[in-house]
Structure 1
Amino acid sequence: MEPTHYEDSLREMFTIHAYIAFTMDKLIQSIVRQLQHLVTDDVCARVTDLYLSESANKSSGGLLSTQTSRATAEGTYQRKAEQLMSDENCFKLMFVKSRGSVSLAMELLDTEEDNSDEPAEAERWSDYVGRYLNSDSASPELREHLSQKPVFLPRNLRRIRKCQRGWEQLQQERMSKVPSDTSHDGSSELKMECMFKLNSYKMVYVCKSEDYMYRHTALTRAHQSQQRVNTRLHRRFHAWLDSWAKEHVTSDMAADNRKWLMGERREGLLPCTTTCHPKVLHYINVNKFRVKYRTL
């Protein structure tokens, strides 16, 4: 029977519930194709034989309480499987059964080699690092073109010059200070480490290595600009809110909202008294509502 005729017949017999039958039919077909691939493919057959042989050694799973004792055997089994599927993406599946429910965890294993000992690869890596670290690699023609048509925005250029002047002034202030007071002016640590992969020439940062820099007078400048920034952002937000309310909120809706905040609409509410207390919070005028429930 043709698949289309089969689906039409199911729809005639089961109407809208027919999708369950021909969906199961397609699912069974996909499962059969996967099983056929497992039986006919050479790599799949070898992986299956490896699983059966390692299962006899209790290297393919067991109780969670004894997982630590099987760690070495399971690691050996994983490395053997990665060698068999060196040209394929290798996934690690773990079934966890707890209180009658089974959970499936899937992990894509990183089988890429980190190092390469081939002389040609090492030589290419040395050339790459040399070009990467050389800051004078720009040609004179490129420098002349950049001077005529700079790619930097004027505002960024102004910021850089301002930072340079501030840094020079800061250095002068630090030189004029007493050595005992320089420790309170700021601190920095440069402990960032990185490695280069020889086969891909990628730079990878070392875990738990970092640079620490503290900008001098940053906290003081933040306190000084807090009022200005809060006021500006509050004004921008209220401008947007007023424009939105003008289009979507009517006067009756605003009045109902005010009555609800003040507890004047008491349908379904507990007896209470609501008061509004204007106050200033972080340089912004806000309304603080306080509710006092009546004792019955």
Structure 2
Amino acid sequence: MTEQSSAAPRLGEFLRARRTAADPARWGFESDRHRRVPGLRREELAQLSQVSVASIARIEQGRTHRASKDVLTALADALELSGEERAYLFVAAGRSTDDDGRRSPGTPHDDAVPVALAQLVHDLTDVPALVLNRRLDILLWSRAAAALFVDFGLLTRLDRNLVRLAFCHERYRALFGHQWESMARNVVAALRSQADRCPDDTALQALVGELVIHDSLFAAWWGATTHPVSKPPRLTCHHPTAGEITLEIHVLRSEGHQRADLTLVTCAPRPNSPSQQALRLLLEGIGDVDRAVAG
């Protein structure tokens, strides 16, 4: 599925979820047992936003993914969306929230990885390695990472994100067994740290808004007062064919002026350990695949 084809359903599902979650009484509409569906009716949202019922229906049914900025603004104002929810509405529609139509700060615009960093990942033949931006999008990965975790090349660019993988990808979640919660909490804390440093990153806000709505655990952890990051020195994966593989986690931040927002994460088993042997056998089984693939 292409990113364009998945945009319309994401936008429609989000708008419908916000409409049905709204309290009609908040806007002076009757809220009683005679309503067949919860929340605002389309006709009521149309009245509040001055957007036609037909336009709202088209968006919710996934028949359009390029609603105009005026329409999106009117719907966001009518539903009193939060900043994060509003950002997600615009990003799901492929729009910037800038008035002049230019990209807003933090909107994905350049997935290029510096040549030296890309070469380093390419040379990490037997080591699972990922290059992340501040939104924890996966921009580059080693063949070992694809073999051990998930084939990132089969995912849409939108879904190549550590947060979405941790909360929305069942196979990825299952790899970590009882360690999933610890791993996921650290992912949330890392994203919170980036959000605090880059409050104008609307794409990051949109990601948060999406997950707050769709995952109650993410919403609870994101709303916590403190977000301590205690990266585990080791993480054990339960691969369906290779078995249990324990990895040492190392996080290196880019200091170069080209892309100072990038992070290199390596996950290496201890030398001469059963985990290293299991990973080696897994890699031998996948044949000659490109060792690093750019998104």
- TM-score calculated relative to the size of structure 2: 0.21
Q: TM-score scaled by structure 1?
A: 0.20
Compare the two structures and name the one with the higher helix fraction: 1
Q: Which structure has the larger Rg over C-alpha atoms?
A: 1
Q: Which has more strand, going by share of residues?
A: 1
Higher RCO, Cα 8 Å, sep 6+: 2
